[in-house]
Amino acid sequence: MRREGYYHRKCENRRGALGTGVTVFGGIARRRLKAPKSKRLLLLLLALFSLGVYGLQAEGRQKIDERWCALLLEGRTVGYLHQSTWGSADGLMRSEIEQTMEILRFGVPFTLSQRDAWIEHPQRGLISLSSETDMNGQLQRVDARAQQGDVEVTVACGADRQSFVLEADGPIGIYEADRRLTEAIREWSSGAERASVEVSYHLFSPETFKIEQVDLRIIGEGELEDSRGLTHRGLVIEERSSSLPGVVTTEIYGEQARFLYARTPVGLALEILRIDAEPKAKAPELFDVAALTIAVSGLEELKRPLAAVEAVTIRFHGRGAAILKRATASAERDLDAGAGRAGAKRNLYARIVSASTDARAADAQLVLRLTDPALRDTAETDRGFPAYGHEPPAEAKAYLRAGFHLDLDDPRLERLAEDCAIPLSTRRAGKPSGSEISMVAPEQLECLERSVYRYIRTKSLDYGFADLQQILSSRSGDCTEHALLLAAVLRRIGIPARLAYGLILTEIGFIGHAWTEMFAGDHWIWLDSSFPEPRDYGMKIRLGVMDPAQPYWADLGLDLLRVTAGVRAEILEVEYR
């Protein structure tokens, strides 16, 4: 496959480095629509909503509630959600939730299924939760158990396993969350003045591995029209969650607190629609995340390939400009920590040229200048970049460690370093050996980029997110796998490294991407083993960073969704090499 066409058929992301994950969770249904990897354009989207349960008393073990919901993305039915709630004679409640979903990633099918089992007690709260997720054959299991007010969590993904304890002040389960909502609806219905009623609670999320706060507010009678033109009338409830700052999910409930419809505005039209019965088997209306791009006016007029462009100035319009401005300002702080060789501020990667006063307005504008400097131009001295034998600066220390996705003792990492003639004294990551600092030349880093690119022989979109052992054994993956493997090799040789995610400029516009960020003494620089030097594609905008040693990297996809759905772009100026 020619590298020039790499991005004509892929979009990057994780649970993924960007994972287009649509995670829907909350009340009785809290499902992750893992819209796969556009992995990298795929977005880990966390949207919370509650499905009310009515009829709270059960004698013996009996089914209290059962319902089916359709999951809609941009008006297409991409999956289904089934939930059943059982009660037992000893007072325990069991809620079982199953979700299936299928989408396309640049024409490549990606499926997700998730099954959760919640057990709780009406007075004692959450007892346990087991969650199993299958993303295109990749399995993950999350087990949480309440112990004396805290929650003990175990996350297993392939050969990786990590356990930790969350300090919690009485997290509840799904059933209790729905009971509280049902009581609030009753309170509102019986109120003479019909004032708004609010409900708040804490709920463990198997998507974020955190205790999230959920806030519900009953607005009053109203209606919502879904993407297919059907109007849903009933009680309007707004929901906010700490997992999705700034996002409001609007829900409609009918008589007896019966959930009918929910809509979450995240750039795309994400909807949950209750259906009357189990759906008949039929082919899903597949949504292709290739649509999640930012078209750039003027690209078609370039006189030379993108690889020949040294810098480009682009103006962005729309509400998404606020996210781009905030992200670029953060990246400037990381990438410009000191002065360059000439003593001036570094002019690396992406820089804000101008921005409108109100970046949140619908007509907001942001002008960025993007560059793609050669590695040798990012080094402080001709000697190259520091590799730390033992103790790096405090701000970078965390990015040397092994962890959930990173087994730094694998000998294959060292062989990749040996292929680039990196001295043995440099290859010490995680093994205390004094405070000496060795230097790695730009040519050696360029060699590492090429070595990782060659090592991953099959450029594949099949993975939701592969861990290091999967990458080393399968030698397959997309940009996330390239970025993770390079970060692992850098940590192994004593250089702090992490993953960056955001947008990359291609012939079809900006799409999601992940790459490697390396600590270079007093600032960070970018490496990209998906496109080693001389790069076919190098103009990027960073939206955030992540530590692959952690079992969960935060909700990476929300900003990406908002940007791709809420911004337009045009080229103002091009500088060729």
Alpha-carbon span 224 to 232, nearest angstrom? 5
DSSP 386-432: EEESS---GGGGGGG--BTTB-TT-HHHHHHHHTTT--GGG--TTS-
Residues facing residue 99 across a β-bridge: 81, 114
Rounded to whole angstroms, how far apart are CA atoms 263 and 270? 6
At residue 62, φ and ψ (nearest 5 deg) are -145, 155
Which stretches of the chain score pLDDT less than 50? 1-59, 339-345, 425, 427-435, 554-555
Distance (Å) of CA 87 to CA 145, 183, 204: 19, 19, 21
At 509-521, the pLDDT tens digits run 998 889 999 988 7
Is the CB of residue 482 less than 8 Å from the CB of residue 465? no
Rounded Cα gap, residues 113 and 506, in angstroms: 32
- Please, what are the domains in the chain? 21-289 (no CATH), 297-576 (3.10.620.30)
What integer pLDDT is reported at residue 156 of this predicted model? 87
pLDDT the model gives residue 360: 60
Structure confidence at residue 494 (pLDDT): 85
CA atoms of 259 and 273, how far apart (whole Å): 9
How confident is the model over 266-277, as pLDDT tens digits?
777 789 999 988
| Structural tokens at position 495 | 């250089």
Nearest to 22, CA basis, from 3, 40, 42: 42
Rg (CA), the chain: 25
Of 162, 400, 146, 110, nearest to 284 (Cα)?
Answer: 110
Asked if residues 20 and 38 have their Cβ atoms less than 8 Å apart, the reply is yes
Element (H, E) at 370: strand 365-371
d(C-alpha 31, C-alpha 49), whole Å: 10
* Other Cβ atoms within 10 Å of 136 Cβ, number: 19
CA–chain centroid gap for 554, Å, is 6
pLDDT at 283: 65
Cα distances (angstroms) measured from residue 158 to each of 34, 141, 492: 18, 9, 21
- Collapsing DSSP states into helix, strand and coil, what is residue 452? helix
The residues with which 575 forms a beta bridge, in sequence order, are 311
- Ramachandran sector of residue 303 (left: φ over 0; alpha: ψ -120 to 50; beta: rest): alpha
Query: Residue 125: how many CB atoms within 10 A of its CB?
Result: 17
Q: Are 292 and 510 in contact (CB under 8 A)?
A: no
CA-CA-CA-CA dihedral for 332, 335, 337, 343, to nearest 10: -100
Would strands 62-73 and 76-87 be described as parallel, antiparallel, or unpaired? antiparallel
Which residue type occupies 66? Answer: E
Q: Which two tokens stand for residue 499?
A: 């993953």
Nearest to 569 by CA among 508, 513, 512: 508
The 3 state secondary structure assigned to 176-197 is: HHHHHHHHHHHHHHHCCCCCCE
Closest residue by Cα to residue 495 from 438, 423, 420: 438
Q: What one-character-per-residue DSSP string does 70-130 give? A: EEEETTEEEEEEEEEEEE-TTS-EEEEEEEEEEEEETTEEEEEEEEEEEEEETTTEEEEEE
Side-chain half-sphere exposure of 464, counting CA atoms within 13 A: 25
Residues 6+ apart with CB under 8 A from 539: 306, 309, 312, 370, 371, 372, 504, 505
Cβ neighbors of 300 (< 8 A, separation 6 or more) are: none
Encode 9-48: b = buried (16+ Cβ within 10 Å), e = exposed: ebbbbbbbbbbbbbbbbbbbbbbbbbbbbbbbbbbbbbbb
Structure confidence at residue 194 (pLDDT): 65
Phi-psi region of 140 (alpha: psi -120 to 50; beta: other; left: phi over 0): beta
Task: State the pLDDT at residue 564.
Answer: 81
pLDDT recorded at residue 20? 30
Neighbouring-strand partners of residue 457: none
Q: By the 8 A CB rule, do 113 and 107 touch?
A: no
pLDDT in tens, 22-37: 322 222 222 222 233 3
- The whole-angstrom separation of Cα 49 and Cα 243 is 12
Task: Evaluate whether 79 touches 100 at the Cβ level (below 8 Å).
Answer: yes
Q: Indicate the length of the chain as a whole number.
A: 577
